[in-house]
Chain A
Amino acid sequence: MLAVCGHSTLEELYSQLPDEALLKRPLNIPAGISEYEITSYFQQRGQENASGYASFLGAGVYRHYRPVLCDVVVSRGEFLTSYTPYQAEMAQGTLMTIFEFQTMICQLTGMEVANASMYDASTAVPEAAMMAARITGRPRFLVASSVHPEYREVLDTYARNSRTQVATFGYDAATGECDLKDLDAKLDDHTACVIVQSPNFFGVIEKVSAAAELAHKRGALLVMLFSEAVSLGMLQPPKSADIVAGELQSFAISPSYGGPFAGIIATKEKFMRQIPGRLAGETTDAGGRRAYCLTLSTREQHIRREKATSNICTNQALIALLATVFMSVYGKQGLRELAEQNLAKAHYLAGALDRRFTGKFFNEFVVRTNGKSPGQINGALENQRIIGGLDLARFYPELRGCMLVCATEMSRREDMDALIQAVRA
């Protein structure tokens, strides 16, 4: 092969590089190791973590069972090792699953259009906000303080550089819902959108329609976020929202120390041309048969460059496929039953504990630790190989002595009883 290229050594292949740009020593990385050694290295790292612990952590990352079929499908090389489906004739498999994904997200959220995925919910939030800014021509985002604190941090980072401003409105100290009076007072004619999350960071179900009504009165859009997708199996779809942004981690996606997850953005048909990211559409092939392709690509960076709706290119396609298989396996009845189990477990747990907020909740809620610190309780639980709740003082100093607790279909009654014991003891 070298001879065909007209060279006699491999080094000649980069002889055009200026001498100063060359690395003249070997990389300081140990020599390659075998499959067996790699496996045992990562097994050891896994052992150093909380391997095999029960956990009551939620806060945007939930423990749900992953049906076996999910891994079976995403492990197929035709999905795993394929590229973005720009060449439609050779990527109908990926395109059709994206089309199904978009449809299922619409069915769950009550929206009319959904994109093919965003990185995660935290980055879908600023993308949704910037979309609202483009639609309304307004520069200000009004976000509920009951939205996941890390999502708000990401929004702040994006806004700081894009000539937009973020303002926050509070939550009701009794119910844990966002404070609609505060929202009404802070809404102005520069507000592009109001951003609420439901269930919110405290697990409380928000009054999305009421917030939407206030926003619409001032010409602003309502962006609804969700971080616990299983809740959509049981909660009314947010039809009053203009944009829905969310996280699908609950749909078979491993917690995996925070990623990769899959975010979504869904909206009304009239805003379709402002949605960021890829869209698959249905059409026909030259023979008149049903076929799919990526569409409305002129919104995207590879064509519109500096005028694109977003700079997103790579998305979370394989993770979205994982979620699609999950939704297919559970289906209409299964997602409902799964949500019912989550509701029942969380309400069993909450029934024996002192809830901080009175608002309605799904599978997550805030507990008063009455006298003991969350740290003490969690320390006691660790000895029983149980990870307790999230100490809320970390994000909300006013909620010192409170922790956020989540129960899913994977929470066993005996572990919940141990948690109750530890809080009450």
Chain B
Amino acid sequence: MTYPENYGYTKEHEWVSVEGGVCVVGITFHAQKELGDIVYVDLPRPNTAVEAGKTFGSVESVKAVSDIFAPVSGEVVEVNQALADAPEMLNEKPHDAAWLVKIKLSNPEEIKSLMSAADYQSYLGG
């Protein structure tokens, strides 16, 4: 599996893609593989404030619930509605179509603490 070079990654297995002042956030290929078949995604409503490192939603498989932690602080500006009807997208296209939320950054400095694709892969390897 390849991890896009232009994304930043967290130890909680989220990816972040910065487009202007807005971050697109998703879970990594590794995360969906560990979870198994994903059956439900619980996401915040738009306009919700989120804080880096705090949980803002959850992903469910048949027999497990995993919290999703915000990789950056800011305000949720958009939620991926398609996941409500097709949570299986998270298993199929975790790095693109199955993005979770878009967050308007309140502290752009936080981006610097994310891992690069190479660092993330060696984190997985270790």
Q: Does A314 contact B (CB under 8 A)?
A: no
Per the CB 8 Å criterion, the residue count for chain B at the interface is 8
Chain A residues with Cβ below 8 Å from B40 are 273, 298
**Which residues from B are CB-within-8-Å of A303?**
63-65
Residue of B with least CB distance to A294: B62
Determine if B60 is an interface residue (Cβ-Cβ < 8 Å): yes
Whole-angstrom distance between the alpha carbons of A297 and B63 in the complex?
Answer: 7
Instruction: Please name all residues of chain A whose beta carbon is closer than 8 Å to the beta carbon of B61 when the two chains form the complex.
Output: 298
| Complex Cα–Cα for A304 and B67 (A) | 11
Q: Tell me if A307 counts as interface (CB < 8 A to partner B).
A: yes
Binary contact readout A122-147 vs B (1 if CB under 8 angstroms, 0 otherwise)? 00000000000000000000000000
Residue-wise, chain A 289-306 has the 8 Å CB interface mask toward B (1 for contact) of 000000001100001100
Nearest to B39 among chain A residues (CB) is: A298
Contacts of B65 in A (CB 8 A): 298, 303-304, 307
- Interface flags, A253-288, vs B, CB<8A=1, else 0: 000000000000000000001000000000000000
A307 to B65 alpha-carbon distance, docked (Å): 10
A307 to B67, CA, bound (A): 11
Residues of chain B within 8 A of A307, CB atoms compared: 65
Complex CA–CA separation, A307 to B40 (angstroms): 16
By beta carbon, the residue of chain A nearest B60 is: A298
Least CB distance from A271 to B in Å reads 14
Identity of the chain B residue whose Cβ is nearest the Cβ of A302 in the assembled complex: B63
Which of chain A's residues have a CB closer than 8 A to the CB of B60?
298
How far is A298 from B40 in the complex, measured between Cα atoms in Å? Answer: 10
Whole-angstrom CA separation of A289 from B40 in the bound complex: 24
Closest residue of A by beta carbon distance from B67: A307
Minimum Cβ distance to chain A for residue B48 (Å): 13
Q: How far is the CA of A297 from the CA of B65 in the complex (A)?
A: 10
Please give the distance in Å from A107's CB to the nearest CB on chain B. Answer: 27
Closest CB in chain A relative to B46 CB, distance in Å: 17
Chain A residue nearest to B40 in the complex (CB): A298
Shortest CB distance A80–B (Å): 28
Contact residues in B for A304 (Cβ distance below 8 Å): 65
Q: Tell me the complex Cα distance, A307–B66, Å.
A: 11
Cβ proximity bits A372-398 to B, threshold 8 Å, 1 near / 0 not:
000000000000000000000000000
Q: Which of A291-344 contact B (CB under 8 A)?
A: 297-298, 303-304, 307
Interface string of B48-65 (1 = CB under 8 A from A): 000000000000111111
Residue on A nearest B42 in the bound complex, by CB: A273
The contact string, 1 if C-beta is below 8 Å from chain A, for chain B 109-122, is: 00000000000000
Q: Which of B39, B40, B61, B65: most chain A CB closer than 10 A? A: B65
B:20-51 near A, CB below 8 Å:
39-40
Q: Taking CB as reference atom, which chain A residue is nearest B63?
A: A303
CA distance A273 to B62 in the complex (A): 14
Nearest B residue to A305 via CB reads B65
Bound together, the chains give a CA A297 to CA B60 distance in angstroms of: 10
* A302 to B: closest C-beta gap in Å: 9
C-alpha gap A298/B63 in the complex (Å): 6
Q: Please name all residues of chain B whose beta carbon is closer than 8 Å to the beta carbon of A298 when the two chains form the complex.
A: 39-40, 60-65
In residues 133-188 of chain A, which contact B (Cβ within 8 Å)? none
Instruction: Report the 5 A-B pairs with minimum CB-CB distance, sorted nearest first.
Output: A298-B60, A298-B65, A304-B65, A303-B63, A303-B65
Chain A interface (Cβ < 8 Å from any Cβ of B): 273, 297-298, 303-304, 307
Ordered by A's residue number, 16 sampled pairs between the chains whose C-beta atoms are within 8 Å are A273-B40, A297-B62, A297-B63, A298-B39, A298-B40, A298-B60, A298-B61, A298-B62, A298-B63, A298-B64, A298-B65, A303-B63, A303-B64, A303-B65, A304-B65, A307-B65
Additional A-B contact list (9), CB under 8 Å, known A273-B40, A298-B64, A303-B65? A297-B62, A297-B63, A298-B39, A298-B40, A298-B61, A298-B62, A298-B63, A303-B64, A307-B65
